[in-house]
Amino acid sequence: MFEKVLIANRGEVALRIHRACREMGIRTVAVHSEADANAMHVRLADEAVCIGPAKSADSYLNKPAIITAAHITGADAIHPGFGFLSENADFAEMVEKHGIAFIGPTSAQMRLMGDKITARIAAIDAGLPVTPGSPALDSLEDALSWAEKIGYPVIIKAKDGGGGKGMKIAFNENELSEAYTMARAEAKAAFTSDVVYMEKYLQNPRHIEMQILADKYGNVVHLGERDCSIQRNNQKVIEECPSPALNDAERKKIGEIVRKAIEKIGYTSAGTLEFLYENGQFYFMEMNTRLQVEHPITEAITGIDLVREQIRIASGAALGYTQDDIIFNGHAIECRINAEDPETFAPCPGKIVEWHAPGGLGVRVDSEIYSGYTIPPYYDSMIAKLIIHGKTRNSALMRLRRALEECIIMGVKTTIPLHQEIISQAEYIDGQYNIHWLEKFMENNKK
């Protein structure tokens, strides 16, 4: 087992990784920007190294600085968390070449599944159901030709995309020209590559993802699905598991398809396969080769610590259990709480005057904030995750309603009122929603 892990991230995920390491008897190193000198994970880590100024490009995305920090402190492994360099194959390869363990898949696996075009090919070869789509598009003429074959509406996607960037929809030929141009420009700005491809656009799907764990000896398990359909601008807002849209037979079927596909691909570590689900059919979109923001709800219903398992797998340990050993217990829901105006979604950095976290049975809060903490304006606005577990979906919803009422964050605006409004709607209570539901609900509320 590793003796010292460097945490190449910030915020609540850095604290989450620190906690898992300490419970395993592993010492931790926090790297941080100048803006995060007073962050909670920096305070709690065994060692801390400042790796640059506030700007992410000069700190959390600074590969040489992070690897140098690992050498200086004698860390024998690096955990990238999520975001930043977590799916950067070049960084993973640099870590490997420096004789440091990367807590995640290999750089080769990351390249295969991180490139959405090669991932589609690998998914097809592995037997996963995929959305009708194209290879990389060479020109507008190529895009027009593929759109004719696939059938409108279509969606243009960035090869290296994520977080909704580089995605544009076209319902007809006239819209495709603008969608193609805008998607390429957005992809170039966000990911430095303007390579895009095309898929059939499903109009009313749900977003369902499957969590997997795979060790270095060919053992693979799936840990069930998460429903991430409550979204705004392709950004997840509330997630739950299991999905209210699936029955046990569907769940078992897609789970076994995913498990066998991962075996065939030869992937190791934790990973998530994302699907669109419409009219009883699953369509593979992409694979996230990292820990997901919403991983706690899977932990709640399985009792498996995903960060601990990532560390164990990277150290060479076997899973120690099979699919038959995985037992799903109850229902879990996660709300992402952002420091944003709940109506305009404008970021609201600033000093937290008072912070009171909700508690009680089945309530978990993952957050790095504290009373007196100043939220910096340089990074993502998510400041907390509220995770609720109950025996049934209804009991989880009732507990979530109570927990949101108890959650007090003073000094900055947050999205707590939005979460309270969402979970009070009949469609959400009944589980009758898709990926467009939240934006339509918000638009109707403006009228």
- Across the strands, what pairs with 409? 355
Q: Where in 217-292 does DSSP place strands (E)?
A: 220-232, 235-241, 269-278, 281-288
Q: Quick one: tokens of 5?
A: 């892990």
How far CA 238 is from CA of 397, 420, 444, in Å, comes to: 12, 11, 19
Count other C-beta atoms under 10 Å from residue 33's C-beta.
22
Contact 368, 41 (CB under 8 A): yes
Q: Residue type for 358, please?
A: P
Active-site option among 226, 290, 364, 399: 290
Question: Catalytic site residue 251?
Answer: no
Contact 365, 388 (CB under 8 A): no
Residues 6 or more apart whose Cβ sits within 8 Å of residue 279: none
Closest to 270 measured CA to CA, from 289, 254, 256: 289
- Rounded to whole angstroms, the Cα distance separating 363 from 332 reads 10
- Rounded to whole angstroms, the Cα distance separating 38 from 268 reads 35
- Across the strands, what pairs with 222? 212
- Rounded to whole angstroms, the Cα distance separating 53 from 32 reads 9
Q: Residue type for 187, please?
A: A
* Catalytic residue positions, numbered: 290
